[in-house]
Chains A and B, each alone.
Chain A
Amino acid sequence: MAKLTVFFFFSLIISSSLAFQSDELLVDDDEFGLEGAKPQSSSSSSPTTIRKRYSDPDLDSKVQFTLEHAFGDSDFSPAGTFSARLKSWSHGGKTLTKLRFSRNGFSDQEKHTFNNLLKGDDFYRIRLPSNVISPPGKEFVVASVRARCLPRDGLDEHFVIHMEGANILAVSYGSLGACQYPRQFKLPAKWSFNSHTILKSSEQAPRTPIFTEEIVGGENAEGEVEPPPERSFWAKYWMYLIPLGLVVMNAVTQATNMAEEQTGGQAGGSQVQQSARRR
């Protein structure tokens, strides 16, 4: 498949008749996020390390938005903070990079409520603002999971945040691995979150390949109306040849019989019988 794409692009490059299309490689923000802060740093909201500074800091700005959670049908309350760099592109687009997450640990009260959730196999719900620049934007983006899916050793959580510019389209929330269906009641060994975060933006569809003239010609000769491979004469016409052979044989034996009948030959009769039985 990869080879094919390369081939398409090559064919696109060599065909100068095509309309102009920006060849700019959009930075793939896929899987650009990184895992959350230390599980133990319960309420410290600011990120501790920033690995790399961008060359033009005026175009970048820091944004923070809060994660809120709710237990079952309770109201939402703050549960953590995402902080990220908002990178403005020259063409006006904005993307979020370097996402960091600090999770607030559960208070005792919350632990108790969460225990109840686990018992009732109820929903643990989270929400994020739909716009990170001017929260909450149009709406909150909500996601839920059955509470029993979360506990492993600690509390495993996995965020996939789907971004469109500075807007959050949706967030997928759940445990990192599988959640077996008859969900077992299990208390977490440690009341600490093990958070993983992924930012995802939209993938560009590959351009539909346009085959240039000569390639189309070549393809046609090669692929589209390719003649079926030559089969041997025998393979093609065996079904006609066998009966024909039998007929000829019959005719021959008949002829010999005719000749032999006068001379009193013997072979004819048995031949006929054989050939008749063979059919």
Chain B
Amino acid sequence: MAMAIRVCLLLLVFLSSAIVSFSLYEDQVGLMDWHQRYIGKVKHAVFHTQKTGRKRVIVSTEENVVASLDLRHGEIFWRHVLGTKDAIDGVDIALGKYVITLSSQGSMLRAWNLPDGQMVWETSLHSAQSSKSLLSVPINLKADKDYPILVFGGGYLHAVSAIDGEVLWKKDFTAEGFEVQRVLQPPESSVIYVLGFLHSSEAVVYQIDSKTGEVVAQKSMVFPGGFSGEISSVSSDKVVVLDSTRSILVTIGFLDGDISFHKTPISDLVEDSGNAEILSPLLSDMLAVKVSKRTMFVRVGGEGKLEVVDSLSDETAMSDSLPVADDQVAFASVHHEGSKIHLMVKLVDDLDTVLLRESIQMDQHRGRVHKVFINNYIKTDRSNGFRALIVMEDHSLLLLQQGAIVWSREEGLASVTDVTTAELPVEKDGVSVAKVEHTLVDWLKGHVLKLKGSLLLASPEDVAAIQEMRMQSSGRSKLTRDHNGFRKLFIALTRAGKLFALHTGDGRIVWSMLLNSPSKSEACERPSGISLYQWQVPHHHAMDENPSVLVVGRCGSDSSAPGVLSLVDVYTGKEISSSDIGHSVVQVMPLPFTDSTEQRLHLIADTEGHVHLYPKTSEALSIFQREFQNVYWYTVEGDDGIIRGHAMKSSCAGETADEYCFTTRELWTVVFPSESEKIISTLTRKPNEVVHTQAKVSTDQDVLYKYVSRNLLFVATVSPKGAGEIGSVTPEESALVVYLIDTITGRILHRLSHQGCQGPVHAVFSENWVVYHYFNLRAHKYEVTVVEIYDQSRAENKNVWKLVLGKHNLTAPISSYSRPEMFTKSQSYFFAQSVKTIAVTSTAKGITSKQLLIGTIGDQILALDKRFVDPRRTLNPSQAEKEEGIIPLTDSLPIIPQSYITHSLKVEGLRGIVTAPAKLESTTHVFAYGVDLFYTRLAPSKTYDSLTDDFSYALLLITIVALVAAIYITWVISEKRELSEKWR
């Protein structure tokens, strides 16, 4: 009997613990999500080695990040991501404790505390015009207990106190148009020399008192040829500059305030003269000149005499000079040889003295060395050691020391431009599953631990053990496909032209591949990747083929430059083929057809209005010919405000044409009047989106049919005046008009104008709805509008008898040429945040309800149920509507702090969100990229189709066993009792 009570209790406990928790708990962070922090391609690096125990390096990058990195491990101590328009011009260290950054074309000066990265002060400098900017932190310049920082930018020279950021003095050069090139400071003097050019033909030297900013002396001299602007300062009283023809090196000496020119034609130095280029490294008494693919070191003699001392091949990267012991100055150079790179540190005075020579095996897929920064340290044997920070072609950052790569950072991933997903290989038979639970004992132990955890009996060690077990369990980082489709690869294309495959389980790089690796042909020297497409996704047949992605690139920055196609195997990361296609790439259109090996057909449009079919096989051609009549495409000419629709016409004529080239004809145009409308955003549905059902049953048993068309284009236009920043126009001047255009016929299906509203418009298009975000100038708030489109031509199918008798038109083919009978519903809400990007979750079958993923200005991602943006919301929903899940209408969308899927993390510099379905219907993958990467798995309607990871199977088992035992025991007892009663 007591047993029965216990069983009941156990059942109770079980029931109470089985109430599934839906939100994310603290200990669940990192189970399904990962976050990677990057900084971008390094532009400047400043080493800081003074005394501080932990050596660190300060870097500024092309992603406008200033960061402090650990020199030992490459970890980020701190970093700050400045705004996208706040590009960093210079970085330096002042007073030994402040990091000074100059940004926004020399108009923003900030000081950050070196150890922890706190901002110490920020000074906005007056800027009158855009000009080049210059940051100079004199080392031993002192003016009345203050250490001025000299900043030139926007036509002004400022001296700013390093201590508190106060402007000590400023000198206005805007009137003359004087461009400061160098600020030089002779040692032991309070006078600074400011050298610059006037209209790039006159050299001017100002001697300025560093305490007051007064001009002590001014000298100028006109150089008849004019300067080209590149300048290299070789010593404290000499600079070398190229003339405007780039064939004469001019040494400008300004000793004691007198300017003297000394001209040296390049042809005197080398035989093969060409256009010369002064390379940036700061070397004392020496400069590096690049002439026709060779780099020369030119020593500057006492009277401005130039003399070539060494020359190197083109592919050499050099560092600035670095003072080493005994008044000597060294510099580093790195060059490639085969798969190795050679690092050499030489003395500037004596190029034959090589202080360091190291060879390091380098991954081919890192490309060439772009930048080198060196730093010295005292070795244990008191001699000088050198370490070099190198930036590679793929933007990665490596630290070399003692002939080895100490650490590397894949900074290319900070500039992801396009992302697609790929499946992992299927697990082969015979290859056994890496056993997570080895034995029954381990298995039981694990579950007992879990049980303890769920009964709140676990000690801290147990909790840690549970956490670890969770991380290991389900083999989430295995390289094979899993049953739920949780393990996938995200293929990311970066601006450097490198492909990365990231594993969804732990975010590690499975493989990476540089598209323009040095082994490539010379025809296309520097292809830049544009976009990424799924080329081959075998899932029905051709299962033995590996899936592959298509990378479309271009041989130059110009849009008419010839394109490059590259096919990359997703499993191995090897390039299958690469071809120069001989025509330009304007638009790439994946077609909804695949050939027998499941290669997707693609059309590529060029600048001449022709389209080209890929793959170039006869099978693809025959498939395409079958659908020739039904292929349409459109182009958006954003500058002219014209959208054009095209259809296929015939094969290309002409001698260069092949049978895979087709001409097109124009079918329709939509012309936006240039005086009142400017296209700011266009958007289509994702082509691979799955819609579960077309019908939507409303509360009163009525059926609405979604207008689900793949050929809808969402266009947003604003008044040209309103295309600028928010608040630059009055509400009367600005209007936002949104359109839904059928891309087959050019029909405008929906057109709605928002008076007094302004872009930028961020929109998301899915199924039959569009949600877009814009600014309402009248209300001074951001707004979100939802438009849902419903089909009316199928509305008569509601009658059951019609369905029974087959008199419905549900199976009739839809033609775009039929007059569309549709209606739209829309509703607007205020939204408290400005938005960087919007995406929507996508699931395998489209059954699960959707969530909007809103990338907010704070670089976080907010998940908002689609139910909040439903035009059927009313102020007082009826009981039936409430049961259906309609939320009462409010004037603004709620921002619930718990629904940030990034929880406490930030995806700095967020640029895009990609969603991909898992095999499990309830679950979707979310990948967000910016400077950082973030991945998580979402279940918008909770995981209704699977048990949670921490579901305690052991508890269930124990319960069942206990119940069975209890039944058996009570049965035995009752039998006995019955027997004893009968014997009585």
Residues of A within 8 A of B (CB): 1, 4, 7, 19, 21, 73, 121, 123, 125, 130-131, 137-146, 149, 158, 160, 162, 164-165, 167-170, 172-183, 200, 202-211, 216, 219, 222-224, 239-240, 243, 246-247, 250-251, 254, 264, 266, 268-270, 272-273, 275-277, 279
Contacts and interface: CB of A to CB of B under 8 A. Distances in A.
Interface stretch (B382-390, B420-428, B525-533, B750-758): B750-758
A121 B891 CA distance: 51
11 contacts: A140-B669, A165-B676, A169-B671, A174-B817, A179-B815, A200-B751, A202-B753, A205-B828, A273-B974, A276-B966, A279-B967
Contact of A223 (B747, B751, B888, B974): B888
B807 interface: no
B783 interface: yes
Contacts of A254: 1
Contact of A247 (B5, B963, B973): B5
Contact of B818 (A142, A177, A204, A250): A177
Nearest to B670: A170
Contacts of A4: 874-875, 889
B609 to A, nearest CB: 13
A203 B753 contact: yes
A246 B670 CA distance: 76
Interface in B849-894: 874-877, 888-891
A117 to B, nearest CB: 13
Nearest to B976: A269
B666 A142 contact: yes
B78 interface: no
A144 B667 contact: yes
Interface of B: 1, 4-5, 7-8, 11-12, 15, 629, 640, 642, 645, 647, 649, 665-674, 676-677, 737, 741, 745-748, 751-755, 776, 778-779, 783, 785, 793, 812-815, 817-819, 826, 828-830, 874-877, 888-891, 963, 966-967, 970-971, 973-974, 977-978, 981, 984
Contacts of A205: 752-755, 785, 826, 828
A123 B647 contact: yes
Contact of A144 (B745, B966, B974): B745
- Which 5 residue pairs across A and B have the least CB separation, nearest first? A223-B888, A276-B970, A181-B813, A269-B977, A273-B974
Contacts of A158: 819
A109 to B, nearest CB: 22
A1 B876 CA distance: 11
Contact of B676 (A164, A182, A276): A164
A172 B974 contact: no
A178 B666 contact: no
A149 B817 contact: yes
Nearest to A244: B8
A206 B888 contact: no
Q: Is the interface of B mostly helix, strand, loop or mixed?
A: mixed
A168 B745 contact: no
A238 to B, nearest CB: 12
A21 B731 CA distance: 10
A147 B22 CA distance: 57
Contact of A138 (B673, B793, B970, B978): B673
A204 B778 CA distance: 15
A169 B679 CA distance: 13
Contacts of B752: 202-205
B8 A243 contact: yes
Contacts of A178: 793, 815, 818-819
A167 B629 CA distance: 32
Nearest to A251: B5
B786 to A, nearest CB: 12
A144 B664 CA distance: 14
Nearest to A8: B875
A202 B817 contact: no
A219 B779 CA distance: 21
B15 A239 contact: yes
B891 A210 contact: yes
Contacts of B645: 144
Contacts of A1: 874
Nearest to B830: A208
B737 A268 contact: no
Contacts of A174: 745, 747, 817-819
A81 B92 CA distance: 72
Contact of A181 (B15, B647, B754, B815): B815
A204 B753 contact: yes
Contacts of B4: 250, 272, 275-276, 279
Contacts of B973: 272
A143 B671 contact: no
Nearest to B677: A164
Nearest to B819: A174
Which of B826, B890, B966 has the largest number of chain A CB atoms within 10 A?
B890
Contacts of A273: 970-971, 974, 978
A146 B816 CA distance: 10
A16 to B, nearest CB: 16
Nearest to A131: B673
Given A7-B875, A138-B640, 5 more contacts: A162-B751, A175-B818, A203-B752, A211-B890, A219-B890
A182 B630 CA distance: 12
Given A139-B669, A158-B819, A210-B891, A170 B974 contact: no
Which of B677, B963, B977 has the largest number of chain A CB atoms within 10 A?
B977
A223 B874 CA distance: 10
Nearest to A253: B1
Nearest to A126: B668
A139 B967 CA distance: 87
A158 B649 CA distance: 25
A272 B785 contact: no
A204 B674 CA distance: 20
B817 A243 contact: no
Contacts of B817: 145-146, 149, 174-175, 179
B380 to A, nearest CB: 68
Contacts of A123: 647, 665, 667
Which of B5, B814, B818, B981 has the largest number of chain A CB atoms within 10 A?
B818
Contacts of A208: 776, 779, 783, 828-830, 891
A98 B650 CA distance: 42
A73 B667 CA distance: 10
Nearest to A138: B671
A21 B732 CA distance: 10
Contact of B11 (A21, A222, A243): A243
B818 A272 contact: no
A279 B7 contact: yes
B236 to A, nearest CB: 61
Contacts of B812: 180-181
Contacts of B677: 164
Nearest to A216: B891
B658 to A, nearest CB: 22
Nearest to A127: B669
B877 to A, nearest CB: 8
